[in-house]
Amino acid sequence: MKRDRLRSSGSRTARNRMCLDFANLPFAPGDTVRRAVSWPELVNFLAEKRIVSAERGGELDRLPETEPAAANNLLLMSERLGDGLRFASRALIRGSRVHREWIEPINEILRVTEGHDELEWDGGAWRMRFAAKLQGLEWLLAAVARSAAELIAAGAKSGVRQCANPNCQLLFCDDSRTHRRRWCSMALCGNRSKVAAFARRHGGGSERTKAQHA
Ligand SMILES: [Zn+2]
């Protein structure tokens, strides 16, 4: 599965899309059904976003064997966070109310993750990294929760969108110059739609994509 690389990963700006990458983890482009995110996938995400170092990522890989309850707990917490975030994002897209129960998993993590930002040299550049006060695992989700809180606080101005492929669940922030980005990925959903529209025009149409504009 290939996800769009996002430039803003690791930073904490209002347009940060780390939380949307996180919300998209259980889906590939065009997937309707949410699948469970595995422990290695979660650890891989944390390493990719530089929330943990490669070394710490290696330690975390072994956690389901050494501390299965802690690992499972974090997986459940991240599932709740992802669900709340997706519901809240879709409400922002529709312009409807964001319910308190969707926000709760975000606040839950923000509350338990006391700490501060500090600059850390990663061998090539100075990176902002969150340094937690407590040693629990919740802090691993702190940057995602922070990014989610910023997105929701920005409301409609966040530019959050859902892919125009009606089957596709992927969310993104539209920061294109024209604010008319429609697809999670032009190469995947965008192309599928074009191919379907072409087939329709030439007689062999698929009904499924009728709702889309070419
Ligand atoms: Zn898509």
Does the residue 117 lie in any domain?
yes
Total count of domains within the chain: 1
DSSP assignment of 111-164: HH--EEEEEEE-SSSEEEEEEESS-SSGGGGHHHHHHHHHHHHHGGGG-EEE-S
Asked if residue 205 belongs to a domain, the reply is no
Asked if 163 contacts 172 with a C-beta cutoff of 8 angstroms, the reply is yes
Ligand 1 center–CA 86 separation, angstroms: 15
| Residue 79 included in any domain | yes
Query: What's the 114 CA to ligand 1 centre distance in angstroms?
Result: 36
81, part of any domain: yes
pLDDT per residue over 76-98, tens digit each?
999 999 999 999 999 999 999 99
Residues of the chain with confidence (pLDDT) below 50: 1-16, 205-207, 209-214
153 C-alpha to ligand 1 centroid (Å)? 25
Q: Which domain holds residue 121?
A: 18-158
- pTM, two decimals, is 0.76
Tens digits of residue pLDDT in 61-74: 999 999 999 999 99
196, part of any domain: no
Is residue 99 domain-resident?
yes
Instruction: Determine, yes or no, domain membership for 13.
Output: no
Q: Is residue 78 part of a domain?
A: yes
Ligand 1 center to 171 CA (angstroms): 8
Å from CA of 167 to ligand 1 middle: 8
